[in-house]
Structure 1
Amino acid sequence: MQDWNFGYNQAKTPYVTIAHQDDLYFPDYAIRAVKSLEESKHPLIYFSDYCEIRNDEKVRDNGLLKIKRMLLFPLKIKRYQKSRFVRRRVLALGNGICCPSVTFAKNNLPNPVFRVHFRSNEDWEAWERLSKMKGEFLYDSTIQMGHRIHEESETSIIIGDNARSKEDYEMFCKFWPKSIAKVLSKVYAKSEKSNETK
């Protein structure tokens, strides 16, 4: 995650989006992000819904996307976006926030945002830390970007060597007793299969 932190620190603007090289941002993404951030009293992050891009086709609805939208549903209610309790309950059941869909309000955030600890869950770990802070998680439930899924992606490689399940368990332990975290990590692992391209 040193490259993410490096890129983040190169930006001199108050708002920063870490764009992955093969993801797509739709025309209104920046407009909606800046408008939402400017209207917020103390923004932490803005993030939008997204679609997957598989074999150059936009997939707007599948099992994984439905689950993530269900996880994030409480944050569609504006007053809940600043609730630490609600944000943590949302993250306690999994990582519904797509990292490249996030724009950071740099002036309100710690530096570094990402810790060099995980291979796959570095973003979920960051959201967990930020969820404890005073401020707002600004969720835009419209699809404003496309996240590309392919065999060579780091996420697909990590899932293939089972490193992801260990990281998932560690993340669930931040919210739950170990016995519950173990069950949740097994259930969560099943959703990872939807990242496979074959």
Structure 2
Amino acid sequence: MTQHKGNLFILSAPSGAGKSSLYKALLEADSNVRISVSHTTRAPRTGEQHGREYFFIDSSSFLDMIAEDAFFEHAQVFDNYYGTSKKAIFDMLDQGLDVILEIDWQGARQVRALYPDAIGIFILPPSMKALEARLIGRGTDAEDVIARRMAKAVNEISHYDEYEYVIINDDFEVAFEQLQAIFVAMRTRTPLIREIHSDLINDLLS
């Protein structure tokens, strides 16, 4: 497998655990981090822009990309397709950028099968009660939707041990510091230093 100059991170969590708030704070604080933008066949919602929230394409083009093995992972959700482009990810990694894939445990398995060096981070809530309170506090979902999210959360959380790192998001500032620490530490891994600083290492050893 080709060595890239950036790290690929998988970020997963049950809905309401604070995953989006954490990665958005990291994007603001660290110019070397990018969030993956997925392809989708669903129509843009009000305020969404092509290339920012998603790459919006038609079903025929999406199926062509599947046939070309262009995706790391893809899934059909109801009547729409969603997928993560290999080329888009590799282009950013080759630039030395760290890339976050915000996907669930099933998508994470697909990515790991193709890119074993991906680094998994799972965000846990401090309790199920706190998780429910956060979902209610968002004020965006009806009671039945919240109930479905809570039921789904148990299954999602059961896969936490498939990830290299687990952050319990009780105190946001502490969780954010832990997330930052993981990203910084991964940039000093031997294979990356060998790739990025090969001239220096060769000079030191000559």
Pair in the same fold by TM > 0.5: no
Larger radius of gyration: 2
Q: TM-score, normalised by structure 1?
A: 0.29
